[in-house]
Chain A
Amino acid sequence: MIAYIVRRVLLAILTIWAITVLSFLIIQLPPGDFVTAYIATMSAGGAGITEGEAQALREQYGLDQPFHIQYLKWMGLIAQGNFGMAIEWGRPVLDVIGDRMVLTIVISLAAIVFTWALALPIGIYSAVKRYSFLDYFFTFLGFIGLAIPGFMLALIVMYIGFAYFGASVGGLFSAEYADAPWSLERVWDLITHLPVPAIVLGVAGTAQMIRIMRSNLLDELRKPYVMTARARGLSETRVIMKYPVRVALNPFVSTIGYLLPYVVSGSIIVSLVLSLPTVGPLLLKSLIAQDMFLAGTIVLLLGVLTVIGTLISDLLLMWIDPRIRLGRQ
């Protein structure tokens, strides 16, 4: 078992290295570089830039060197804990990402809690009371939830919140706390702002998860061990919660790995609409500006999160499922 864990960790490190190469490559792939994009922005604003100035900029950021040199330089900096400068922002990448990353994780967790808290009970109910009125009702709601694009839902929720409840919508903070240092009041302000983005971000996932939980559980409910548990005299609730639900939950553990990256990259448009200060919109902006250090770091971070998340979910699965832990190797 320890050998298995060691092998998995080594593989994870190898995967992360491959991700650094790929993310750097992907960022370099589009024609042009940051300076081209910068020139375009400047001339759109009416201010021209001379050929010499452009050349100086390229030299300053090492953009004139070949690909592998640039990559090695980047890796060298990362090894020292320096992720480079976010060129467009004129600040170190870590500074720009730091706070947003924390907020992204907070929002993602809120969305995940919302999703699971709603989807699991409904999924269990739908499976146990299959073909009941409420099962059809939730199925109907679920498909609507799946079909409505996130940004559309965001707009609707914002409109309703603003027009009928006078709620300050958009963003994660009220104006007075937006740039304030962290304090208890600021945390509370954040908590009161969380439900709307959490719901908007969680709806599609919830709908999907209800369907998965329902079909997982339906499969398990048919298995003989459920009937033998009943035949031992356990109450129906105990039979269902202890045995088939427990088994049907296992596959969800394996999805933990990609939840966070999914919420980050899958929600860029929603985050823009709701003007959330999260990593998603930042990634979009940096890609448009071809800000390779910023974009590279974000892509790398997402990759690393996925790898670590998958590793954790695999270890968790091993812990909760004896068939994996003790299965014949």
Chain B
Amino acid sequence: MSSSFIPHPSSFLLSVRNLKTYFFQDEGTVKAVDGATFDVYPGKTLGIVGESGCGKSVTAQSILRIVDAPGKIVEGEIVLTRADGSQVELTRLHPDGEEIRAIRGADIGLVFQEPMTSFSPVHTVGNQIIEAIRLHTGASEKEARQRGIEALHSVGIPKPERRIDEYAFELSGGLRQRAMIAVALSCNPRLLIADEPTTALDVTTQAQILDLLRDLQQQRGMAIMLITHNLGVIAEMADEVVVMYLGRVVEEGSVDDIFHAPKHPYTKALLSSIPSIESTPRIKLPTITGSIPHPYNRPSGCPFYPRCESYIQGTCDAQEPALIAVNERQKVSCFLYK
């Protein structure tokens, strides 16, 4: 692998280096993830934030090796530390092999944005939760059912022994997402990947689900990789934040640094476009000029330069900035900090 790698830190749970996942289509190649680098530590929450289409979800799918065709990981390393301390390089595993399947659901749980469509419409919630438990623990049908009921109970679903035999469409949106979390956590994963877990829910339910995730994290000491476009959710939940733009990490740092001392022009622009209760009323909310480039037509150099206020002609459009440390806690990919 490339020698320009930032070395894997010690004691990481998941370490992603220079991940590139491309979709090869007749019309061209979509570089959905184009050199993402970040780490997840045990028991901590990593927030991944960015606009739609910046490669957040594909990053999550790449980690689990469930990227749909024609998507493919073309480069990079994803190293996972397992419960016994051994480390696995996930990109080297066969995507339908036994090794990765033993990790999916057991070491890493996944929660999706849309709880309605994340469950099969013709199988009960219990069927799907019991299936996962039996697959990873070899428990009997009866034991697995008992554990399934406990899992539903642990995410605050009332009357779990009845709910387990219901279908997802019989549950309310909030309960559905709780059930989804129960399925993802049924085998006690050490990492939970939550891909926009609250986007499809109403605001009150959103807060409840976030509280639930935080409680579960404290009880179980699991790490969470929280993918969202909502900076409010990030501020509330994350320890570390990764800001992505067009498949790349543009800035990485602790949640305080990102919100109080953002370095990258994109992060700054994102933060200034959030309406605040303290801002002057009746003025136009700042927005980022331009729009996300078409995936087949990515700009050369820094992908953000056409929309950037600090664009340096001859540099930003010619070379690609690397993710470099600007201080002990923060890394930025921008020529302003060279």
Contact = CB atoms under 8 A, between A and B. Distances in A.
Interface of A: 223-225, 227-236, 242-243, 246-247, 250, 320-323, 326-327
Contacts of A247: 120-122
Interface in B76-125: 96, 101-106, 108-110, 112-114, 117-124
B110 A233 contact: no
B66 A232 contact: no
B19 interface: no
A224 B117 contact: yes
Contacts of A224: 112-114, 117-118
B104 A230 contact: yes
A229 B117 CA distance: 11
Contacts of B170: 326
Nearest to B60: A231
Contacts of A250: 122
Interface in B32-70: 61, 64, 66, 68
Contacts of B109: 231
A231 B131 contact: no
Q: Top 6 A-B pairs ranked by shortest CB distance?
A: A233-B105, A231-B110, A233-B104, A232-B105, A232-B132, A233-B101
B217 interface: no
B219 to A, nearest CB: 22
Contacts of B136: 233
Contact of A323 (B104, B110, B122): B122
Given A228-B180, A231-B66, A232-B128, 8 more contacts: A223-B117, A224-B118, A225-B118, A225-B119, A225-B120, A230-B64, A233-B136, A236-B96
A242 B127 CA distance: 11
B183 interface: yes
B135 interface: yes
Q: Which of A224, A231, A243: most chain B Cβ within 10 A?
A: A231
Interface residues of B, number: 36
B23 interface: no
26 contacts: A223-B117, A224-B118, A227-B112, A228-B110, A229-B120, A229-B128, A230-B66, A231-B105, A231-B110, A231-B184, A232-B135, A233-B101, A233-B103, A233-B105, A233-B106, A233-B135, A234-B101, A235-B96, A243-B120, A243-B123, A246-B122, A247-B121, A322-B167, A323-B121, A326-B167, A326-B169
Contacts of A242: 123
Nearest to B69: A130
B122 A232 contact: no
Contact of A228 (B106, B112, B121, B167): B112
Contacts of A228: 110, 112, 118-119, 180, 183
Nearest to A128: B69
B167 A232 contact: no
B120 A234 contact: no
A78 to B, nearest CB: 42
Given A224-B114, A227-B112, A322-B167, A232 B104 contact: yes
A232 B183 contact: yes
Interface in B129-151: 131-132, 135-136
A248 to B, nearest CB: 11
Contacts of A327: 169
A225 B128 CA distance: 10
Interface string B239-267: 00000000000000000000000000000
B102 A233 contact: yes
Contacts of B118: 224-225, 228
A323 B132 contact: no
A250 B121 CA distance: 11
B66 A227 contact: yes
A249 B304 CA distance: 46
Contact of B64 (A231, A234, A236, A321): A231
A323 B167 CA distance: 9
B131 A232 contact: yes
Contacts of B101: 233-235
A234 B61 CA distance: 15
Nearest to A230: B66
A229 B66 CA distance: 10
Contacts of A225: 117-121
A326 B121 CA distance: 11
A201 B310 CA distance: 71
Contacts of A230: 64, 66, 104
Contacts of B113: 224
Contacts of B110: 228, 231
Contacts of B132: 232-233
A11 to B, nearest CB: 26
Interface in B146-201: 167, 169-170, 180, 183-184
A189 B302 CA distance: 77
Contacts of B135: 232-234
A27 to B, nearest CB: 44
Contacts of B131: 232, 234
A229 B118 CA distance: 9
A228 B121 CA distance: 13
Nearest to A328: B169
